[in-house]
Amino acid sequence: MRFDKRTSRDAARPAFACGGSPNPTVSGYTRSMTSLSSTEAAAIERAGDAPMLAQVEAWAAVNSGTGNLAGLKTVAGLLADAYSALPGDLRLVAPDPVESVDAAGRVQTIERGAHLHLSVRPDAPVQLLLTGHMDTVFAADHPFQSLTWLEEGVLNGPGTADMKGGLAVILAALSALESSPLAPRIGYDVMINSDEETGSHASAGLIARLAKGKTAALTYEPALPDGTLAGARPGSGNYSVLVHGRSAHAGRNPEEGRNALVAAADLALRLAALKAPDLKVNPAKIDGGGPNNVVPDQAILRVNMRPATPEAATAAEAALNAAIAAIEREHGVHCHLHGGFNRPPKPLDAPATRLFELVRDCGTALGIDIAWKATGGVCDGNNIAACGVPVVDTMGPRGGAIHSPDEFLITGSLPERARLSTLTLLRLAERGTV
């Protein structure tokens, strides 16, 4: 990966937003130092001084698209080297098997990369889970491979915000925590998976095991450019519907055929009509068909459903099954459903709200305005919340245009968010609860 470093940058200097206006949180942090205890002040100073920008540059210089196993192995090694500075047990965890339906209707096993897991003080009175992902959406052959400075304090590059910046923040905050006398009160698991961008199918079991019994969780997806956090999230389900019809000659005896492509198209229209205020439905792709003179006997419909609540998810799955049954009946075809809701809805319940309020109060102590709002995206925070654990899942640095070649990281937010995480960890250690 190339790195076009047009000018040198200082990781700790005040960052500027893309519009060019100064970031107010740096001076606000200075003004708020008097509201911190000496223990807190020392720890957050250490967090802010960590070499996060250099780490992001090194980690983002290696392509780690979800399907690039060699790149993921390299990044996992770099992360293991960096995180080995923390105490505890560090290991690579083999991915769970993942199945997918290909364009020919065959169920195939997909290989994923290993996940990184660090366990520290599992017997401490307060137990936390911190998660991130090492994969990006950019494959090894994608044209977006280089790092470029867009303007003062704004770094463009694959995975800079989503989420190698977040991985640097986790390490900085935990290193600062370990320097504090409060460290013995808190234990934690860090999980960095290799397949978040494709739904965490190979790591969902690991996430569920590590979330069990935790006091709270923090996930390091990027905050919005203005610092706003993601609050409630919908769920997400990805389905493949295999439609099996009957082939026939398109001119001689088409009535004896059962057109799987037409049936799949009809199903797509029926599912699109299910959209409602609490449900988004996106029929995304139909595979199938063949020569113009043959009635197609197979088609595969791919569809994504995003329910806002658990009740909407249950209703959506029931409606999907009912629509499939109607298609089978009316078109004389047979359907096979593959997939499910891999990301449960994440409503903002009372424990999660209290955790957000704790993060907000820590932000106030640092001169950072913290707000949150509902979003349409999903992440591993959905899976953690489904285990009954309160989670804030946008604790990473500020950035934007993720999943596109315009992705950018506001580099001055690295120390800002490392301080925020450190103070949140310390106050969780003191309180023992959210």
Q: What is the strand order of the sheet 186-193 is part of?
A: 89-93, 115-120, 186-193, 126-133, 216-219, 391-392
Under 8 Å between Cβ of 302 and 242: no
C-alpha gyration radius of the chain:
24
CA distances from 171 to 55, 82, 396 (A): 10, 8, 11
Q: Which of 172, 192, 190 has the alpha carbon at shortest distance from 64?
A: 192
Active site residue 135: yes
**Which residues pair with residue 218 across a beta bridge?**
130, 392
d(CA 116, CA 106): 31
- Residue in the block written with tokens 């949150």: 372
Q: Convert 93-131 into a string of H (helix), E (strand) and C (coil).
A: ECCCCEEEECCCCCEEEECCCCEEEEEECCCCCEEEEEE
Give the bridge partners for 281, in sequence order. 305
What is the CB-side half-sphere exposure of residue 327 using CA atoms within 13 A?
32
Find the catalytic residue in 40, 189, 195, 196. Answer: 196
> What is residue 218's three-state secondary structure?
strand
Rounded to the nearest 5°, which phi and psi values hold at 266?
A: -60, -45
**Angle of CA points 223, 356, 221, to nearest 5°:** 25
Decide: 243 and 187 in contact? Cβ < 8 Å: no
197 tagged catalytic: no
> Active site residue: 135, 162, 197, 407, which one?
135
**232: helix, strand or coil:** coil
Which residues are the active-site residues? 135, 196
